């Protein structure tokens, strides 16, 4: 049989390293899926909601570095992909979306399920190719693949059914090669300039982000030479915190440790691969700032910088190291590390009192989970209060990964993220910290997918019967909480009815045992329904994804400026819990 256009597409995707395609079949996609079946090299992951498939793909792509495909059929199947593709763009995941499209003869006639892919995907995707002629197929697929991989984000191949099933041009060469990441660093003159600024500064602090992913060793070496405290964004935490004697915690609304003070107290702040979005947590003009990022759009958009350099952190710091001498005075470093240590003690407040407090404190739950989980566990947090507890109580490690919708801040990402991660790393402990709002928004239907595939994802639901994060937000803004409460079923029973393992935890005394059983469960998904305290706003209780209200900011700043004990006391008085 002559090869079809869709055969060429899958062949190229497989050669580019795509191992899975998540999605739902239907009309326009039928010839596409038929070709996927014929190809046999890419596994089709049939999900119940296309958005769930994209969040799974985002986690797989982010963790493995491989491109991942998703698909949805023309019109509504395609629109369901959108939120996940926005997430892919913001989290930097190489996703290629195969979007079903109406037959070419129907284009621009407002046909059933017709959608203009250029307009629709414009906000989310780096490239949209619409295959209206078989001759385009190779070029469009190649561009979609390379753009996704090199620019680390989503691209679209919009594929009408009639073209997918048309014969491919006989002579079309079917090769695609993925280049290794090029060495990308600033010019020598700029490296020299940076070396000079570092030489002139007495107190240098570092703020690292996700751009430090491949540069941990170099950044730590630089920090050691400069006696520099190292703070990080949420996305930088997993690369820079563990086993780092210079670690001073996170700045921002989830912040802890000495990071905030260290970056304000420095003469020179080096922002390395950090597009940290909260300008109010960055120092003003009295601290000199250098920002280095591979993406020029990140430079100077959160705060004015004295020097902005474009390049990868690893290559740039490697070139910089021979240009900087060692600093002798370690007092600046010691001060902020000591502050971080005492902050960690304060963070233990609700962890230590947790066994005696009902409803269960989320801090106690998260800290116990961190203690029991494997050294190479993969953790995912839903947008909502789960992010707070993950940032502060899940400890990283060389092989642990912490991921979420950190930059796009969509709800309901954690369970599908965990599903994609488990498919990519079968058998590795995969833990999703889910909101009850998030779980019922998107995860519940596809729990059936996990059951069917026997995917051992541990889903821990923070059952607070509310959109608690917004509840907190409203209270802090002085708004009467409205539209935030809901009634929940017993999720453990629901899970059991769906064929998963269900565990319900209401007593603080059952937390350890319940989590241990969940983590040890093999052969399928677990849902741990933990009834937690909805009033747990002891710490800066605002995620860095929304407008910051005055009170939140002041609470966060109080904690960050070392007044956490007074915040704790205030809350104790308010809630009378302890």
Ligand X SMILES: Cc1ncc(C[n+]2csc(CCOP(=O)(O)OP(=O)(O)O)c2C)c(N)n1
- Residues at the interface with ligand X (CB under 6 A): 382-386, 409-411, 435-438, 462, 464, 466-470
232 binds, options ligand X, Mg ion, none, Cβ within 5 to 8 A by partner type = none
Cβ closest to ligand X, residue 410 vs residue 450:
410
Say if CB 395 and CB 370 are below 8 A apart: yes
Cβ closest to Mg ion, residue 156 vs residue 532:
532
Which range binds Mg ion by CB under 5 A, 20-28, 310-318, 323-331, 431-439? Answer: 431-439
The alpha carbon of 523 is separated from its chain's Cα centroid by a whole number of angstroms, namely 26
Helix (H, G, I), strand (E, B) or coil at 428: coil
- The CA distance from 503 to 491, in Å, is 8
Q: Please report how many Cα atoms fall inside a 13 Å half-sphere around the Cα of residue 396, on the Cβ side.
A: 20
87 binds, options Mg ion, ligand X, none, Cβ within 5 to 8 A by partner type = none
429 binds, options ligand X, Mg ion, none, Cβ within 5 to 8 A by partner type = none
Cβ closest to Mg ion, residue 204 vs residue 391:
391
- 435 counts as binding Mg ion under rule CB under 5 A: yes
CB of residue 449 to ligand X, shortest distance in Å = 20
Tokens coding 499:
């064929």
Question: Which residue among 258, 437, 502, 540 contacts Mg ion (CB under 5 A)?
Answer: 437
CB of residue 414 to ligand X, shortest distance in Å = 9
Q: Count residues contacting Mg ion (CB under 5 A)?
A: 5
Q: Please give the full DSSP string across 2-43, using - where no structure is assigned.
A: PPBHHHHHHHHHHHTT--EEEE---GGGHHHHHHHHHH-SSE
Strands annotated E in 372-425:
378-381, 401-404
Tokens coding 434:
């889910």
Angle at 99 between CA 97 and CA 101, to 5 degrees: 165
CB of residue 253 to Mg ion, shortest distance in Å = 18
Say if CB 106 and CB 40 are below 8 A apart: no
The alpha carbon of 535 is separated from its chain's Cα centroid by a whole number of angstroms, namely 26
CB of residue 368 to ligand X, shortest distance in Å = 17
Which range binds Mg ion by CB under 5 A, 173-181, 236-244, 277-285, 435-443? Answer: 435-443
Footprint of Mg ion on residues 442-501 (CB under 5 A)? 464, 468
Question: Which residue among 436, 446, 473, 476 contacts Mg ion (CB under 5 A)?
Answer: 436
Cβ closest to ligand X, residue 60 vs residue 382:
382
CB-nearest residue to ligand X: 435
Cβ closest to ligand X, residue 87 vs residue 339:
87
469 binds, options Mg ion, ligand X, none, Cβ within 5 to 8 A by partner type = ligand X
Cβ closest to ligand X, residue 283 vs residue 435:
435
- The CA distance from 233 to 147, in Å, is 27
**Phi and psi torsions of 74, nearest 5°:** -45, 140
382 binds, options Mg ion, ligand X, none, Cβ within 5 to 8 A by partner type = ligand X
- The CA distance from 324 to 557, in Å, is 34
- 311 counts as binding Mg ion under rule CB under 5 A: no
Cβ closest to ligand X, residue 521 vs residue 546:
546
Say if CB 92 and CB 117 are below 8 A apart: no
- The CA distance from 379 to 90, in Å, is 19
What secondary structure, in 3-state letters, does 480-543 show?
Answer: CCCCCECCCCCHHHHHHHCCCEEEEECCHHHHHHHHHHHHHCCCCCEEEEEEECCCCCCCCCCC
72 binds, options ligand X, Mg ion, none, Cβ within 5 to 8 A by partner type = none
Say if CB 524 and CB 453 are below 8 A apart: no
CB of residue 475 to ligand X, shortest distance in Å = 13
CB of residue 431 to ligand X, shortest distance in Å = 16
386 binds, options ligand X, Mg ion, none, Cβ within 5 to 8 A by partner type = ligand X
CB of residue 122 to ligand X, shortest distance in Å = 20
- The CA distance from 414 to 367, in Å, is 18
Q: Please report how many Cα atoms fall inside a 13 Å half-sphere around the Cα of residue 52, on the Cβ side.
A: 23
- 430 counts as binding Mg ion under rule CB under 5 A: no
Cβ closest to ligand X, residue 59 vs residue 230:
59
- The CA distance from 347 to 391, in Å, is 11
**Phi and psi torsions of 89, nearest 5°:** -65, -45
The alpha carbon of 335 is separated from its chain's Cα centroid by a whole number of angstroms, namely 31
- The CA distance from 301 to 303, in Å, is 6
155 binds, options ligand X, Mg ion, none, Cβ within 5 to 8 A by partner type = none
Cβ closest to ligand X, residue 307 vs residue 391:
391
Cβ closest to ligand X, residue 419 vs residue 491:
491
Tokens coding 426:
């079968």
Cβ closest to ligand X, residue 222 vs residue 555:
555
CB of residue 119 to Mg ion, shortest distance in Å = 35
CB of residue 556 to ligand X, shortest distance in Å = 17
CB of residue 461 to ligand X, shortest distance in Å = 9
CB of residue 350 to ligand X, shortest distance in Å = 16
Q: Which residues bind Mg ion (CB under 5 A)?
A: 435-437, 464, 468
């Amino acid at each position: 049989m002559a090869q079809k256009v869709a055969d060429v597409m899958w062949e190229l995707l497989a050669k580019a390293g795509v191992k899975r395609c998540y999605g739902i079949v239907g009309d326009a996609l039928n010839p596409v899926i038929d070709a996927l079946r014929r190809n046999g090299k890419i596994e089709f992951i049939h999900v119940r909601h296309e958005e769930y498939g994209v969040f799974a793909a985002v986690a797989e792509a982010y963790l493995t570095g491989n491109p991942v495909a998703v698909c949805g059929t023309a019109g509504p199947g395609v629109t369901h992909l959108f939120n996940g593709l926005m997430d892919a763009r913001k989290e930097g995941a190489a996703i290629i979306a195969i979007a079903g499209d109406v037959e070419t003869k129907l284009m621009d006639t407002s046909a059933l399920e017709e959608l203009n892919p250029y307009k629709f995907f414009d906000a989310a995707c780096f490239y949209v190719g619409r295959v209206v002629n078989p001759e385009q197929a190779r070029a469009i697929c190649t561009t979609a693949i390379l753009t996704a991989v090199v620019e680390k984000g989503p691209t679209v191949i919009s594929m009408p059914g009639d073209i997918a099933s048309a014969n491919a041009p006989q002579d079309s060469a079917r090769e695609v090669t993925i280049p290794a990441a090029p060495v990308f660093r600033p010019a020598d003159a700029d490296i020299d300039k940076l070396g000079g600024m570092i030489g002139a500064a007495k107190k240098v602090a570092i703020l690292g982000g996700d751009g430090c992913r491949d540069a941990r060793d170099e950044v730590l070496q630089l920090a050691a030479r400069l006696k520099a405290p190292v703070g990080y964004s949420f996305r930088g935490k997993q690369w820079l915190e563990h086993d780092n004697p210079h670690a001073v915690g996170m700045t921002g609304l989830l912040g802890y440790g000495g990071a905030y003070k260290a970056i304000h107290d420095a003469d020179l702040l080096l922002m390395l691969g950090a597009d940290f979005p909260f300008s109010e947590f960055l120092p003003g003009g009295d601290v000199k700032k250098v920002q280095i990022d591979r993406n020029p759009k990140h430079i100077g958009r959160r705060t004015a910088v004295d020097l902005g350099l474009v390049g990868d952190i690893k290559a740039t710091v490697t070139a910089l190291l021979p240009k900087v001498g060692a600093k002798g005075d370690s007092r600046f470093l010691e001060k902020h590390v000591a502050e971080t240590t005492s902050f960690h003690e304060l963070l233990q407040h609700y962890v230590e009192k947790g066994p005696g407090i009902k409803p269960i404190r989320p801090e106690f739950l998260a800290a116990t989970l961190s203690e029991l989980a494997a050294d190479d566990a993969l953790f995912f947090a839903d947008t909502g209060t789960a992010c707070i507890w993950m940032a502060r109580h899940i400890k990283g490690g060389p092989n642990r990964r912490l991921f979420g919708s950190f930059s796009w801040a969509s709800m309901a990402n954690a369970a599908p993220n965990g599903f994609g991660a488990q498919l990519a790393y079968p058998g590795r402990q995969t833990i999703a910290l889910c909101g009850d709002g998030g779980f019922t928004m998107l995860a519940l239907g596809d729990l059936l997918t996990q059951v069917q595939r026997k995917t051992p994802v541990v889903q821990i639901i923070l059952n607070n019967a509310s959109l608690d994060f917004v509840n907190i937000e409203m209270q802090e803004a002085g708004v009467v909480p409205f539209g935030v409460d809901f009634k929940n079923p017993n999720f453990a029973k629901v899970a059991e009815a769906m064929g998963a393992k269900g565990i319900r935890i209401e007593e603080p005394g059952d937390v350890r045992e319940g989590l241990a059983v969940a983590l040890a469960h093999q052969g399928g998904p677990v849902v741990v329904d933990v009834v937690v305290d909805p009033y747990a706003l002891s710490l800066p209780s605002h995620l860095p994804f929304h407008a910051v209200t005055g009170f939140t900011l002041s609470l966060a700043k109080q904690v960050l400026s070392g007044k956490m004990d007074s915040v704790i006391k205030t809350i104790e008085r308010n809630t009378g819990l302890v």
